[in-house]
Amino acid sequence: MPGMNESMTSPIADSMPVATPASYYQRHIFFCLNERSNGEECCAKHDAQAAFDHCKARVKAAGLAGPGQVRVNKAGCLDRCAAGPVVVVYPEAVWYSYVDVSDIDEIVESHLKNGQVVQRLLTPAHLGR
Ligand code: FES
């Protein structure tokens, strides 16, 4: 790219369009709902489906659902199983490890509604699969 040195570019940045359209949703939250039948750790073991259903209901009840606002999506394994159950919120790319629906309520109210990261629920950076 003209005017940039090599340290300022990456393969990802080079493949992205210069101008991006406005985001259809302000925020996306993805819930890992992956289930493993071989006994390995997975988010489904920790009531991820119930947390997803609860989040959808709370977002809708709060009037946050829809274009220009928030979308709650199912996801398969996000490859951070050791930290599960996990969700990730975009565009901020903030990962959370939750325990119960009260944690989901806090993510909805603080992050999805008000844009404030819930520090106490952040997934430890070193935890992957
Ligand atoms: S099973 Fe949920 S992150 Fe892998």
List pLDDT tens digits, range 98-121: 999 999 999 999 999 999 999 999
Residue range 82-92: mean pLDDT, rounded: 96
Q: How far is Cα 116 from Cα 96, in angstroms, rounded to an integer?
A: 13
Q: What is the maximum span of the chain, computed from C-alpha positions, in angstroms?
A: 53
Nearest protein Cα to ligand 1, atom 1? 42
- The rounded Å distance from CA 96 to ligand 1 centre is 12
Provide the pLDDT confidence category of residue 73 given band limits of 50, 70 and 90: very high
Ligand 1 atom index nearest CA of 129: 4
Pocket of ligand 1 contains residue 81 by CB under 6 Å: yes
What's the topology of domain 22-121?
Answer: Glutaredoxin (3.40.30)
Provide the pLDDT confidence category of residue 10 given band limits of 50, 70 and 90: low
Residue range 58-83: mean pLDDT, rounded: 97
Kindly list the domain boundaries of the chain, sorted by start residue.
22-121
Question: What pTM, to 2 d.p., does this model score?
Answer: 0.85
What is the pLDDT at residue 72?
A: 98
Provide the pLDDT confidence category of residue 25 given band limits of 50, 70 and 90: very high
Residue range 29-49: mean pLDDT, rounded: 96
- Is there a contact between 69 and 28 (Cβ–Cβ < 8 Å)? no
Mean pLDDT of the chain: 89
